[in-house]
A = this chain, B = another copy of it.
């Protein structure tokens, strides 16, 4: 069941194996997201977990090489790509405070005049995508290029069926887009923005791919090819936003249990960063009522408990 990628990666493998066994024994695993068919069809018994070290070594257990729908996980990469381009100006258009409300809420957006609480709620991610689109002309393409480069996987791609399905069920995001546009906080036409956004959400990638693509955050901003994407300070800042805002309305609980910067998606994936050490990606499609993978959170909880690698 375990596949070792390199000999140097022995350190955490027994930990991953023990976690996989533990997960395997656990009955309830939540329910897959059901708002689009492609997600609803996922088997909640699937489970994979990967660790990527700073040198690019990656290894894992279970379905760690199986591509799944990344969904909101890509918000981290879009944020980094835009932050690298425009720097702190971004924060005039999106805040970086945790949201006390569910991830789609329009309430806070209205009380705060169209400025989303943070870049990881849908409204905030739309703003970040809009800004990256303005700067690059192809936000989704930039994302894809980046993910392929960092993961070393040239076959990583959008899932066109998922993107089309998101568009069909996209009224809430359309509402968010138009609502922020009414406050002057969206530059591109809303349909263009939504197309870019849904393509980003549709990226299919494996735990291995995502753990590797996240390593620049554990390396304080340095990409796989040794070039710098973010300053040391910006990398720290992205980690901070992940920790306080990365898991919808459960950020406090995630920090409490796991104690690592992390970002989840409704496809059942979660990425996490141990700054200066390694990155993790776990996948299991069954979600809790707050939209986070049940087995995924449990696995990360187990990892920090067994290794003592929490930031706290």
Contacts and interface: CB of A to CB of B under 8 A. Distances in A.
Interface of A: 95-101, 105-108, 110, 117-118, 171-172, 174-179, 181-182, 190, 233, 235-237, 239-241, 243-245, 249-253, 255-256, 259, 261, 275, 305, 310-312
A21 to B, nearest CB: 21
Nearest to A308: B232
A100 to B, nearest CB: 3
Contacts of A101: 100
Given A97-B98, A237-B256, A261-B312, 8 more contacts: A98-B252, A118-B252, A171-B181, A174-B175, A239-B259, A241-B256, A243-B244, A311-B311
A264 to B, nearest CB: 15
Closest 10 CB pairs of A and B: A100-B100, A98-B98, A171-B182, A175-B179, A97-B252, A239-B312, A175-B178, A174-B178, A311-B311, A240-B255
Contact of A97 (B179, B250, B261): B250
A312 B275 contact: yes
B182 A305 contact: no
B106 A179 contact: yes
B261 A252 contact: no
Nearest to A173: B178
Given A311-B312, A312-B275, A117 B97 contact: no
A239 B256 CA distance: 8
A128 to B, nearest CB: 15
Contacts of A96: 252-253, 256
A113 to B, nearest CB: 13
B97 A233 contact: no
Contacts of A97: 98, 100, 249-253
